[in-house]
Amino acid sequence: MIRNRILIVYLLFISISILTGCCINQTVNETELTYGDDLINLVEETMKQEPREENEIQITKAEIVASFEDETKQIVLANIYQMGFIPEEGRFISSSGAMFPVEIQYEIDDKKLVNPLVIYPLDGSEFSSSLKKMSRNNIKWYNQLMESQNSYQRIYNDMIQKLRKEIVENNLDGYIHTKYEIPNYTEDVIFLEELKNEPKGNIAIVKEEAYFRAKNEIGKVNWPHYEGILFNEATGIAVEAIFDEFPK
């Protein structure tokens, strides 16, 4: 479910970016600057999304690919990951998501980075060429920016850790559990560990009846699947999900 929503939102997102274009000055000071938590925090704040619903929690993660000066500006190339979660009865519903590379041009004002201009890659057949332009034809940067497109399994646990931090900081009670106490999933359930399509460190918890009903549909319907919970062992957070693997 999360992966499907990320794909849908991403396609909508980059289609909008056609209007913004990707026109970039090719003159670059190749001296790459060091960057750390301060720059990551700045980029995450720049790319932060406003909640789409009243109680939605928006999580943004940035991975810096490169940071360098270009004339009077500081250029940051980064991969951005966004997920939205809605709390409901001790569990979370995945409400939105996107994964995409960006270039952010900051003005330098008394050693501070201000007035960011965000540039997105173009859509469709022009995506690769615009990404090469964004990366200044640096193969290493290009490959790292391209990694944003297939990062669900790699970044999911980091996003859930950020979600847990939001829960703790905002005193949201009743949303951190053991795998045996998730509301509505305490009886007649199956624990499915190490599913191939899910990130490591997460367990699918599903109703036994729903699992075997879907399993009996194999070969009879186009997409046999079942609903359940993706439980993150490190944080105790449960997110509603749809599964289509049948290891038992």
- Looking up tokens 């795998």 gives 179
Residue 80: predicted pLDDT: 97
Q: What is the 3-state secondary structure (H, E, C) of the chain?
A: CHHHHHHHHHHHHHHHHHHCCCCCCCCCCCCECCCCHHHHHHHHHHCCCCCCCCCCEEEEEEEEEEEEEECCEEEEEEEEEEEEEEEECCEEEEEEEEEEEEEEEEEEECCEEEEEEEECCCCHHHHHHHHHHHCCCCHHHHHHHHHHHHCHHHHHHHHHHHHHHHHHHCCCCCCCCCCCCCCCCCCCEEEEECCCCCCCCEEEEEEHHHHHHHHCCCCCCCCCCEEEEEEECCCCEEEEEEECCCCC
What residues have CB less than 8 Å from 229, skipping those under 6 apart? 91, 182, 185, 204, 205, 206, 238, 239, 240, 241
Residue 1's closest CA among 123, 147, 156? 156
Q: What pTM does this model have?
A: 0.82
Q: How many whole angstroms separate alpha carbon 82 and alpha carbon 40?
A: 14
Return the ∠ at Cα 133 (arms to 130 and 134), rounded to 5°.
85
Residue 110: predicted pLDDT: 85
**Biggest alpha carbon distance in the chain?**
66
Say if residues 70 and 84 touch (Cβ distance below 8 Å). no
Token pair in block for residue 180:
């045996």
Token pair in block for residue 131:
């990404």
Q: At what angle do helices 139-146 and 127-134 cross, to 10 degrees?
A: 130
Strand partners, 80: 62, 100
Q: How many whole angstroms separate alpha carbon 94 and alpha carbon 59?
A: 11
Q: Would you give per-residue pLDDT tens digits along the chain (248 residues)?
A: 544 444 444 444 444 333 333 333 333 333 344 457 899 999 999 999 888 888 999 999 999 999 999 888 999 999 999 999 999 999 999 999 999 999 999 999 988 999 999 999 998 899 999 999 999 999 999 999 998 888 899 999 999 999 999 999 999 999 999 999 999 999 999 999 989 999 999 999 999 999 999 999 999 999 999 999 999 999 999 999 999 999 98
